Homo-oligomer: A and B are copies of this chain.
Amino acid sequence: MQYVILEIFISNCRRFRIQATFQGKLLMGKNRLEAFSDGVIAIIITIMVLEMKVPHGDDLAALYSLIPVFISYVLSFVYVGIYWNNHHHLLHAVQRINGPILWANLHLLFWLSLLPFVTGWMGENHFSTWPVAVYGMVLLMAAIAYSILELALVRLQGKDSELAKAVGRDYKEKISLVIYAAAIPLSFVSRWIAFSLYVAVAVMWVVPDRRIEKKLSH
């Protein structure tokens, strides 16, 4: 019983503290941040398909010509999915939000918003050198923006927070940053090496999580 009351009390305190500090424009609820980010990410993932223009022909040949654009779309869809998934996890453990975090989040959304553009450019040019390199740069900048957001969140929640520990345990982000940074110059050696590296990073994020979680959820 005391436990229950305590819990309600804490939740009330938290609510009042948030309102109190609002006057100084300090702390905000994270709900609208999540809702706004979900909205932007949902739009990014969906408008990318608009780059896949309806072809004029009505036969298979018309579809064949779209295959590079389609592959490019699939890759970017998976990447945006990964970012949404990670963003979801990151904010799940967060209690407090402030101004720098809002801007760090918008900075991440900015780089993600360029994905439809580079996806279309890469697909329409059949994965030629410069588009593949620029695609990698956008991935690298998005990954850096994600790291900045993470740092801002850890700073506000404190070094002993669960978030700080969870972030410290995460090696995949650092590996991804290194691979992106390597893929950009490598795309001038061979664009297929760069493209394979982008696919490899995406696979790294999608597959192992599933395996570990399956094991754990049984």
Q: Interface on A for B, CB 8 Å cutoff?
A: 1, 3-5, 7-9, 12, 19, 22-26, 28-29, 32, 34-36, 38-47, 49-52, 54-55, 58-60, 62-63, 74, 77-78, 81, 84-85, 88-89, 92-93, 98-100, 102-103, 106, 109-110, 113-114, 116-117, 120-121, 124-125, 128-131, 134, 156, 162, 165-166, 206, 209-210, 213-214, 216-217
A84: B residues at CB distance < 8 A: 36, 106
A213: B residues at CB distance < 8 A: 25-26, 98-100
Number of this chain's copies in the complex: 4
Contact with A216, one of B9, B26, B46, B78 (Cβ below 8 angstroms): B26
Contact with A38, one of B28, B35, B63, B103 (Cβ below 8 angstroms): B35
Interface of A is mostly: helix
* A128 and B58 contact, CB distance less than 8 A: yes
A85: B residues at CB distance < 8 A: 99, 102-103, 106
Query: CA of A23 to CA of B131 in the docked complex: distance in angstroms?
Result: 38
* B49 and A50 contact, CB distance less than 8 A: no
Query: CA of A5 to CA of B4 in the docked complex: distance in angstroms?
Result: 7
A29: B residues at CB distance < 8 A: 92
Closest 5 CB pairs of A and B: A39-B42, A58-B125, A54-B120, A43-B46, A99-B213
A96 to chain B: closest CB distance in Å?
9
A125 to chain B: closest CB distance in Å?
4
A156: B residues at CB distance < 8 A: 217
Query: CA of A134 to CA of B59 in the docked complex: distance in angstroms?
Result: 10
A134: B residues at CB distance < 8 A: 63
- Nearest B residue (CB) for A57: B125
Query: CA of A154 to CA of B152 in the docked complex: distance in angstroms?
Result: 33
* B7 and A12 contact, CB distance less than 8 A: yes
Contact with A49, one of B12, B77, B113 (Cβ below 8 angstroms): B113
